[in-house]
Amino acid sequence: MSMDAADESLLEELLAGKHRALARIISKIENRSPGYRELVSELYAHTGDADVIGITGSPGAGKSTLVDKLAEAYRDQGETVGIIAIDPSSPFTGGAVLGDRIRMASTVGDMDVFVRSMSARGTLGGLSTATADAVKAMDAFGKDKIIIETVGAGQNEIDIVRTADSVAVLVPPGSGDDIQTLKAGILEIADIFVVNKADREGAARTVQELRDMVQLGDESGLAGGGHHSQEVIDAHDDWDDEPDADGAADEGWTPPIVETVAVHGTGVDEFIDELAAHREYLVDSGEHAEQARTRYAEEIRTLLREDVHAMLEDELAAAGGVDDLAEAVRQGETDPYSIATDVLEPVAACLSDLETDADADSR
Ligand code: GDP
């Protein structure tokens, strides 16, 4: 795909490590500015090196505090960090708030912790698509660790967090009903459980309850496999980038439970160790490759759906607009089936022309 000169130099700047270019490209992604597709398309060749970590949990669970401490610890190890904070509903423009947050919480004065907030409100099109594209931008930039922080609630957030290779679910100590009330969907996507606020009463009990639940899940085959389907891998033993399916993959992954006191940074090192262990499991078991395939397949489908949809809307407009057509149906002049066929005809003709051209080219 071809880019205009301005975008080309923007891409060069991003690849050269200019944070300003990274910020501008993410804005283009959010706004779907002209040329964003060509830009994202060019990013792919430079991606694949980052560890993408998803952190989710209810409001007040301590996500922001923990993410700050995690970023700081990674920085101390010499890793660069990008944070995407997803704010599904906030009326605030989160950028400034989050920027302050990081500045206050972080001892590192450099830009190697790059924070970006994204909200459903500020994002044209799907938030999960925009998040995935923003991850691509940070990955291509060269960030070693990319952290997606999101409030765990609806399907939308679950879709978003699936962009991550490893998902940590924060569970604060609670009255005991908490585990039961956690959304099943949230529990199923957890690769690691973090009982934050372990300084609070009831932490040990929450850990025990999670342990029981994980064990139960292991036995019933529900949890314990994380959010990735082992069957798919087994069904494709012939994919040669996969290690032997008889290896670690068969054992699956049992989500560990880590206790943290985010405000003091306690337990963060252990959390980092578990994230590393999960990463290793993903690669060794072949799940990492499978995750990537699943994600790319979904991206291809989403793009095609959007493109075809836009194309059909154009055709519909050219045919007189849906309102006039609906009125024609009401008047008994035609029917929806005939209209659908008529509207699709030029698109289908166009596609078959393309195929004929492609055949001619390949000869
Ligand atoms: P978020 O909404 O999940 O991002 O939660 P925040 O990170 O904003 O934390 C919510 C509140 O819990 C803040 O007042 C934090 O200072 C506090 N907090 C976070 N982690 C801990 C912890 O480990 N122990 C205690 N006691 N408080 C914590």
pLDDT of residue 354: 74
Q: Are 168 and 53 in contact (CB under 8 A)?
A: yes
Phi, psi of 252 (to 5 degrees): 70, -175
Task: Answer yes or no: is the C-beta of 65 below 6 A from any ligand 1 atom.
Answer: yes
Cβ-proximal residues to 67 (8 Å cutoff; 6+ apart), any chain: 55, 83, 85, 147, 149
Write out the DSSP string of 267-297: THHHHHHHHHHHHHHHHHHTHHHHHHHHHHH
Residue 62 C-alpha to ligand 1 middle, in angstroms? 4
Write out the DSSP string of 150-196: EE--SHHHHHHHTTSSEEEEE----SSSHHHHS-HHHHHT-SEEEE-
Closest residue by Cα to residue 252 from 277, 276, 213, 285: 285
Which atom of ligand 1 is nearest to 67's Cα? 7
Read off the amino acid at residue 143: K
**Tens of pLDDT along 149-196?**
987 666 667 778 788 999 999 988 874 555 666 666 677 789 999 999
**Tens of pLDDT along 288-325?**
999 999 999 988 998 888 888 888 898 899 888 999 99
Q: Are 250 and 256 in contact (CB under 8 A)?
A: no
Task: Answer yes or no: is the C-beta of 263 below 6 A from any ligand 1 atom.
Answer: yes
> Token pair for residue 294?
């699943």
Task: Answer yes or no: is the C-beta of 69 below 6 A from any ligand 1 atom.
Answer: no
Distance CA 242, CA 286 (A): 5
What predicted TM-score, i.e. pTM, was given to this entire model?
0.82
Closest residue by Cα to residue 20 from 108, 93, 111: 111
Distance CA 138, CA 88 (A): 20
For a mutational test of ligand 1's pocket, the pick from 58, 64, 65, 68, i.e. the residue with the most ligand atoms closer than 8 A to its C-beta, is 65
Which residue ranges in the chain fall short of pLDDT 50? 91-97, 99-100, 102-108, 175, 223-235, 237, 242-249
Task: Answer yes or no: is the C-beta of 62 below 6 A from any ligand 1 atom.
Answer: yes
Task: Answer yes or no: is the C-beta of 58 below 6 A from any ligand 1 atom.
Answer: no
pLDDT of residue 293: 94
Which atom of ligand 1 is nearest to 266's Cα? 23
